[in-house]
Structure 1
Amino acid sequence: MSSSGAIDNEIENRLSGELGALEQLRALLQNNEEVKIPGVVVAGAQSAGKSSVLEALGGMKLPRGQNITTRVPLVLSLVAVPGAEPHAVIGGQADLSKGKIIGIDEISTDIERLTNELAGDGTAVSAKPIYLKIIRPSGPTLTLIDLPDITHNSPDGTQDIHTETVNLVKKFIENDNMVILVVIPAMDDFANAEAIALAKKYDPDGRRTLGVVTKTDNIKVEEDTPAEEVRARERQFFQTNSEMAGIEKEYWGFDTLVGRIVEIQAERVQQFIPKFLAQSKRRTKELAQALRDMPKVFSNDNELWEKFRKVVSTIREELKDLLTFGSNRAITGQDESMDIIPHVTAMYKAYATGIRDDVVPNFFTDEYHQKVCAAFKRVDGMALPNLLGGRVFSALFCEIFSEELGVRSEKLVEGVKDFMQDTLGKLCDHTCAAHPVLLNELKTNLVEQFVDSKEASTKSAVENIVKAELGWVFTQDRSYEDTMRDVREMASRVRKSKVEHEATSGTENQTIFELAKDVGTIPEAFIWKIIDAKPKSEDDAIRDLQVILHAYSDVVCRRLFDSIPKQVHLFLVDGICKGFVTWMLDKVDETDLQRWLAEDALSQRKRKELESKLSQFEEAAKILKNAGGRSK
């Protein structure tokens, strides 16, 4: 590029609209970390000549001093408006619509003022930027970000100035959309220059890095020297100085620098715009969906009641589906632990198995025979001999069932209750996830109270069944009578056979074996003892009582193993399903619903954040499209 005029025209044609739009985006999206806005970052060590480069580009004066003067990032926008009176707008926010309008000669003073406001007096640095827009009738249209100088020495020693300045540089240059303008004095050791090392780290291919070598000459330029004369002296120096004569023209001069900045920034901008429009389109859809997925904000009590009825009705329907062997795995999330019927049935079976194995004794062992004998001796003399069996039966029967039956039945109730409460809790999680306050109230309060009420009714019903079994010996079950009749008839036939026929042992064994099969679970060895006992003797009565205890206990177990699970199921399974909605609606009022369904502070913040981001992306896309940024 041969002249600054040609450069200005190219900038105006290619970047003016886009850069203006990007600055609007920078203001709009300044708190949105998802978007990396392009720009030109100016980095270098202290006294590297960054200020001179920026002053040449912007046509203004920046603060100068012996110590570090650039202590906060300076976002500098250069705008060319034909016919405009040169002026600037400065402020601490990216949106400069409320910034301070100042003259070009006031820029240095206001930068110092804002720097002290943001970073404090002294030499401390801050990541909070100053925003400065310079409007002139002509000149390059660029956005540059001047970063604090990389330095090792803080005169007042108040902070690790080197770490702070390096971290600030890293924060900006790690953005792939940033052009890195590394300013380095000609007399520095390029191989060890820290700014160059940082640029290589984040831009190893050098595609977005420009090196600017300053202080190659000793030309003195007065402050009021016109820009064109400064450019002329620059060209004369590079053309006539023997040490610079070998440098190709494409590598020296202010016009070349501007042209290279334009080229690289234009490339970055043109890459950014279509990518951002695609990102904006995607994020707009995602944010809009996230807002739709948020809990509804209710405007009146009718809407609150409608929502609550829907919640509890949905839970009831999902529970009903589980009870009727529904295959709707979307409800349980493939959680087989919520399959109600298999789980409670397993509990009912375990209840029965536990009582048969651990509570009901083997009535036909020698040990239990001795127990019955001892019981007969304890009641001897309390009644006529032929009436003692009833007393012994009552005592032994109550001993078997009085304590363990109640305890195990209560544990069954508690086990089913815990399972149903856990299942309801999972259904609440599935149904009320969008309303955490209501979810917490349902799980920790309402559901617990409801299931507790059902548990109390169930325990009362089960307790009555147990009391009935222990309080009155009664059955119409024919199996009891059949067992007693079969045993007694068998014993009588074999005794009679032994008297009438002196049968062989084998014949007797075969006969008894066949008869023993008829009485079911009574062991053959015990049947022999019944046969060998003298009829109507005490031993015969004791053996007979053992059979009675066995037969009646079997009847009782069959009754309990059906009736108690039925009561548990009626109250704690079917009852919970059928009574859930009515109970819940009776227990709450409008005040409760207003508290439980009100949008909590966290959700309010989330909604505002989503709405703000959605608005930002929509507005940003409009800005770029209006600036002609739609990809072709």
Structure 2
Amino acid sequence: MANSCYLAQHYEDQVRPCIDLVNSLMSLGVEQDLSLPAIAVIGDQSSGKSSVLEALSGVALPRGTGIVTRCPLVLQLKRDSKDDAWSGVLSYEGYEEKLEEPKEVGDAVIRAQNAIAGDGKDISDKKINLEIYASNVPDLTLIDLPGITRVAIGNQSDNIEEKIKKLIEEYIKQQETIILVVVPANVDIATTEALRMAKRVDPDGQRTLGILTKSDLVDKGAEEVVVKTLNNHAIRLEKGYMIVRCRGQRDIMEDMSLDISLKKEKEFFSNHKNFRIFLDERKASIPHLSERLTKELVYNISRSLPLLEKQVIDKLEQISTQLRMLGDGIPEDEAGRVKFLTQKIGEFNQLLTDVVRAEEDLEDSDTRIFTQFRNLFSVWKAELDEKDKRLRKKIDAAAMKEYAKSHRGKELPGFLNYRIFEDLVKGHVKELEVPALGLLQSCKDIICVNLSEITTRFFEMYPYLMRQVKHNLEILRDQEYKRAEEKLKSQFAMEKMVYSEDGLYIEKFLAVKSETEADRKSNGKDSDFDGTTQHLRAYLKITTDRLANQVPLIVLHHMLDQYIGQMKEAMMGILTHKKFEKFTEERSDVAQERSYLRSRMERLKKARQALNSFVAV
């Protein structure tokens, strides 16, 4: 495992503080909240990417044909200060297995993949975490992702290619991730899907480093193509390309150690007439890759720090807001529960008071309940005016003559039977009763919807209490609606009595008479029935004005003042309800969400402290 020493030896002074910081953030579990600098290894199927990862880490990973990496393998290398120390911990989905020797890693990873993705060849997005503690490795995180395949075999999903690409993209799209694109040196890199995927998420190759493998399998005469790629003259990447020679299948079957493999790799590049220049330029071999990778990771960590700090601050603010919305939870002791429920009911009753006062808080697109009522009252007044206008046309002088022909009794010409006058008024009033009841129903619907929404928002975390409040809302709403309906019907029954206070009536009559005389002068017309029509018009004005105010007053009195007043009393009655304990039960998922948010806040606070300490140093 001497090859792994390169990661620990090169740039120790520069690397150690950065790696320690990222390691501490990972130990806190901060990667659940934001993206931390990491290294993802991607490649087409059988490209040799697991071999590269194996050479970098010193750990023998599973090999074979087909899809070998079937789950994301997060390899965390952690340096142990004890000489020759080595231990490992493999974990997934709550399961944990301790490893005593490096040779146990391969079988342990296979067992984990089978447990997660099944014994076949399908994949899963569930992660396997492998922690390696050793004296000759640095603190570093490497992520091995499934190789890209195009054809489903065996019991693989038909959309296996799509699933693998989606999984890979979730990792490599993170701006903090260094992408190692592994491409066999003996194939046309333009045909590799892994490189195309990297270019899509990192067009300029700012985060992408190309790794050419299987350098010993390049056909004679094809070396110039590889040289062109290594010189970044083919498909350009800002970070460029490197070339390695890892253990092949035959080397593994012959049990070649990683140390021997490194020596053979060095010999290979030193003696290769086309590639040895890249060894001198530190673009060839696993040790030089390790050195380059360490530099890139340190740079990436340093570049990511300002963004990490901002993300931590933003996340803390976001979680604080969510926790405020959830509240502190319900106390466990009885006195605390009584106090909690009393406060909650008081706050809700204040919301109801605000509704009556037309002072309730609104979302940008909402309208206050009272304002919605006013809009309906305006429609009601417009309907009264339209009905009045129609009747006035009906009782103009010419129409009255026709009407008198069929309704006239013993009276002499120029007189109109008072019963006919009453019939006209009663008919007019009868036509208005149905629209008035419709107005009441519309207002009932408005307050029903709005109070239901207010109740849901306010008590959504307390389902039993919310059901009781909504039950009370329905009972009292229907009760006040019935009372308002009865009062409206009574009002229209009274309107059929045809009555007005004398002084008020005379005032209206004189005003109408003045209007009529003005009309007579302008058009020169006169009629025996002008006096009668003037009386009718005067009384219609009184009726219209009375109903324009009285109907809305009845609606407001019952469907707003009385309804909400009764509701506030019912809310206070909950405090003495026999099922009081049930009303203080919280929705099952709320406590879990609160606990989850608090744990996130705690680790983010620690992460912020770690970042501040790092900056201070």
Residue 196, structure 1, aligned to residue 195, structure 2: yes
CA distance in 1, matches of 2:94, 2:312: 21
Task: Please tell me the residue identity of whatever aligns with 1:630.
Answer: V
Q: Which residue of 1 is the match for residue 429 of structure 2?
A: 405
2:89–2:98 CA contact under 8 A, matched in 1: yes
Q: Which residue of 2 is the match for residue 620 of structure 1?
A: 607
Q: Which residue of 1 is the match for residue 543 of structure 2?
A: 560
Deviations 1:417-460 (A, max 9, x none): 63476368557757874435759938972674365145225314
Q: Which residue of 2 is the match for residue 585 of structure 1?
A: 568
Q: Which residue of 2 is the match for residue 239 of structure 1?
A: 270
CA distance in 2, matches of 1:366, 1:226: 118
Pick the aligned partner of 1:573 from 556, 566, 588.
556
1:338–1:423 CA contact under 8 A, matched in 2: no
Residue 8, structure 1, aligned to residue 8, structure 2: yes
Give the SS at the match of 1:121: coil
Quote the RMSD (CA, aligned, Å). 4.6
Q: Which residue of 2 is the match for residue 456 of structure 1?
A: 485
CA distance in 2, matches of 1:479, 1:79: 98
1:43–1:169 CA contact under 8 A, matched in 2: yes
CA distance in 2, matches of 1:43, 1:614: 33
CA distance in 2, matches of 1:478, 1:164: 83
Q: Which residue of 1 is the match for residue 100 of structure 2?
A: 102
Deviations 1:143-167 (A, max 9, x none): 2111222334555263344444444
Change (3 A) 1:408 1:521: farther
CA distance in 1, matches of 2:509, 2:258: 124
CA distance in 2, matches of 1:28, 1:428: 43
**TM-aligned CA deviation for residue 35 of structure 1:** 1.9
Give the SS at the match of 1:247: helix
Q: Which residue of 1 is the match for residue 22 of structure 2?
A: 22
Q: Which residue of 2 is the match for residue 468 of structure 1?
A: 497
The 5 Å alignment of 1:378-417 reads 379=409, 393-412=417-436, 414-415=438-439
Residue 81, structure 1, aligned to residue 80, structure 2: yes
1:86–1:135 CA contact under 8 A, matched in 2: yes
Q: Which residue of 2 is the match for residue 292 of structure 1?
A: 324
CA distance in 2, matches of 1:120, 1:555: 90
CA distance in 2, matches of 1:454, 1:110: 76
CA distance in 2, matches of 1:149, 1:518: 93
Deviations 1:117-158 (A, max 9, x none): 112113222222221122222234422111222334555263
Task: Please tell me the residue identity of whatever aligns with 1:193.
Answer: T
1:406–1:466 CA contact under 8 A, matched in 2: no
Deviations 1:242-267 (A, max 9, x none): 34344341112222111011011111
**TM-aligned CA deviation for residue 284 of structure 1:** 0.3
CA distance in 2, matches of 1:573, 1:456: 12
Give the SS at the match of 2:40: strand
Mean Cα deviation higher: 447-456 or 138-147: 447-456
Deviations 1:362-386 (A, max 9, x none): 556344224324434xx56xxxx89
Deviations 1:531-581 (A, max 9, x none): xxxxxxxxxxxx5xx466435434533442344344334432356554344
1:30–1:94 CA contact under 8 A, matched in 2: no
Deviations 1:464-511 (A, max 9, x none): 422432xxx786348669989xxxxxxxxxxxxxxxxxxxxxxxxxxx
Residue 320, structure 1, aligned to residue 357, structure 2: yes
Change (3 A) 1:351 1:153: closer
- TM norm structure 2: 0.76
CA distance in 2, matches of 1:366, 1:154: 91
**TM-aligned CA deviation for residue 525 of structure 1:** 12
Residue 128, structure 1, aligned to residue 126, structure 2: yes
1:458–1:567 CA contact under 8 A, matched in 2: no
Change (3 A) 1:313 1:4: closer
Change (3 A) 1:481 1:142: closer
Q: Which residue of 2 is the match for residue 176 of structure 1?
A: 175
Change (3 A) 1:70 1:460: closer
Change (3 A) 1:424 1:631: farther
Change (3 A) 1:562 1:158: closer
CA distance in 2, matches of 1:147, 1:561: 79
Task: Please tell me the residue identity of whatever aligns with 1:369.
Answer: K
**TM-aligned CA deviation for residue 230 of structure 1:** 4.7
Change (3 A) 1:549 1:221: closer
2:516–2:534 CA contact under 8 A, matched in 1: no
Task: Please tell me the residue identity of whatever aligns with 2:353.
Answer: R
2:477–2:559 CA contact under 8 A, matched in 1: no
Q: Which residue of 2 is the match for residue 145 of structure 1?
A: 143
Change (3 A) 1:556 1:136: same
Task: Please tell me the residue identity of whatever aligns with 1:70.
Answer: T
Pick the aligned partner of 1:262 from 283, 286, 294.
294
State how many pairs are aligned: 568
Q: Which residue of 2 is the match for residue 114 of structure 1?
A: 112
Residue 630, structure 1, aligned to residue 605, structure 2: no
Q: Which residue of 1 is the match for residue 345 of structure 2?
A: 308
CA distance in 2, matches of 1:174, 1:206: 12
1:458–1:568 CA contact under 8 A, matched in 2: no
Paired-residue identity, %: 20
CA distance in 2, matches of 1:593, 1:456: 34
CA distance in 2, matches of 1:248, 1:423: 80
Give the SS at the match of 1:258: helix
Task: Please tell me the residue identity of whatever aligns with 2:345.
Answer: F
CA distance in 2, matches of 1:80, 1:294: 42
Mean Cα deviation higher: 407-416 or 213-222: 213-222
Q: Which residue of 2 is the match for residue 506 of structure 1?
A: none
Mean Cα deviation higher: 450-459 or 110-119: 450-459
1:84–1:135 CA contact under 8 A, matched in 2: no
Deviations 1:54-91 (A, max 9, x none): 33223332223344322222211222212255433333
Q: Which protein has the larger Cα radius of gyration, Structure 1 or Structure 2?
A: 1
Give the SS at the match of 2:46: coil
1:150–1:166 CA contact under 8 A, matched in 2: yes
2:71–2:117 CA contact under 8 A, matched in 1: yes
Give the SS at the match of 1:89: strand
1:348–1:561 CA contact under 8 A, matched in 2: no
**TM-aligned CA deviation for residue 582 of structure 1:** 2.9
CA distance in 1, matches of 2:508, 2:604: 86
Change (3 A) 1:264 1:529: closer
Mean Cα deviation higher: 458-467 or 69-78: 458-467
1:140–1:258 CA contact under 8 A, matched in 2: no
CA distance in 1, matches of 2:165, 2:185: 21
Task: Please tell me the residue identity of whatever aligns with 1:441.
Answer: K
Change (3 A) 1:553 1:272: same
CA distance in 2, matches of 1:291, 1:213: 50
Change (3 A) 1:306 1:450: farther
Mean Cα deviation higher: 576-585 or 104-113: 576-585
Change (3 A) 1:406 1:631: farther
Gaps of 5+ in 1: 323-327, 485-515, 531-542
CA distance in 2, matches of 1:149, 1:600: 44
1:82–1:137 CA contact under 8 A, matched in 2: yes
Gaps of 5+ in 2: 218-246, 332-336
1:15–1:141 CA contact under 8 A, matched in 2: no
Change (3 A) 1:405 1:598: farther
